[in-house]
Structure 1
Amino acid sequence: MNRICKPLIGLVLLCPALGLGAEPDSSALEKAAATAGTEGTARSAAEPVDQSHCRESAVSESDAKAATEAATAYLNALKNGGFGAAPAYLHPEAVERFKTLVMPALDAESARGTRSLLNATFGREATIAAARSADPADFMARFVRVVSARDPDAAPRFSALTALGVVPEGERLHVLVRLGAGSGPDAPERLEVVSLLADGHGWKVLLDGRLEGIAGVLAGRFGRDDRRSALPRMEPVPEGAPLTPTVPQGPAGLPPAPEPAPLPR
């Protein structure tokens, strides 16, 4: 996200000709520049700014509104439903990429003769061939459902969401939002960028840093020999089961905590 966030913040702050979203006040500009951590994002007021590229790439009002609504709906869905809610908002390109990133971990498991990740996502009777041939949307839904059940607090938490603007990049639109936690003038805030691509049925979200991070963790965790790992074993989540984290104890997962050593006399 940082890779695209810096130039996007600069574009949003320096291109009033876009006329899209709420224009940040001076304090928001300072926070955006500090968050981006770049020199050159906050320009001197006396320095002329070439806005011709902004006028040429302006987004239509209808597209800006639709993309902003899709981005805010996606973030609110993650907040309220965890990562299990993500697939419904994602572009087909995003779910295909998720499968491409995670499938090697299942293949590596199969090559070692283990199947803990396959069991957790497709069930104990499933074959590796079933995972390979699975529809990408179904494939992703199985994985993010398990992740949501194991770590429901990993989803974004915020109390306020403000859309700041929309920036085009080829066929994509990037929506810059400000997320606030708590209330009051000193409440912490952060900036996020949600990237979207039209799919014929509206604007859909592309894979973001959170979901790519999940894919990377799964690939790293299960893409290596995990037979001696001390991490908890992943088990299937029954349909309809509450999404609460559970960590098995003993041989099936983490070893029991040792008795505390006596204090020295």
Structure 2
Amino acid sequence: MSTTPEPARRILVTGASSGIGAAAVRHLRAEGFDVVAAARRGDRLETLAAETGAEAYVLDVTDQSAVDGLVSHLEATGGLDGVVNNAGGAFGLDPVEGADLDQWQHMYELNVLGTLRVTKGVLPLLRAAAERRGGADGPGADVVVVTSTAAHGAYEGGAGYTAAKHGERMLSTTLRWELAGEPVRVIEIAPGAVETEEFSLVRFDGDAEKAAAVYEGFQPLQAADIADAIGFALTRPAYVNLDLMVIRPRAQVHNTKIARTGV
């Protein structure tokens, strides 16, 4: 008697147009997942989709109506088995006394409320997928939140970003408690220094010299390293939850403690 194979698990990746998000799309597609790559920049998404076979979906996570539209689209096109909340970013490196309130608000909207909007929106889809695939005895569903080591420590000039990432961390930790007993895992991945094409450049308002100096004198992580960790977490047996993965370069032991040896 022939059996119909289970369809590939469908994963949403936000912030997918560059950096860790784009690397996660590539990695998950190579692992055999169906991937919905979501971000604001449609041209980049289309290029990524052509390369990987992922589905491109233009999304601004700070726009509730856009998130609502995404949820409706996912529901109408097969549901969802997991989400990788990767959209985020840092803006500025000012001391608290000189804080730019607009930058703080933008970081909170993007890192915390963006993750909240998307997660809240897709949770019913994740529950439905978990039930459809066997409930408590099936593969379940996944919420992955990419935070930062900034979610686990403070540093001078980083209060706005660390505050936002601490908020995102508490969101994911509390959600894990609230979903206890349900077949939905909540996984936090907290990268340290990751050299991507845009993170530090955005933080320093396009100052390429300042951005490059962040990674001088040591070997930083690459986006593919974090994508690999995301893939690892998503492919563990269903009863295994990796609550937290903190991933730093060997040279980095704290947000502000890096052994810059020149190699």
On whether the aligned pair clears a TM of 0.5, the verdict is: no
Q: Which structure is higher in strand share?
A: 2
In our comparison, the structure showing a higher alpha carbon Rg is 1
With the shorter chain as reference, the TM-score category is under 0.3
Q: What is the TM-score of this pair, normalised by structure 1?
A: 0.24
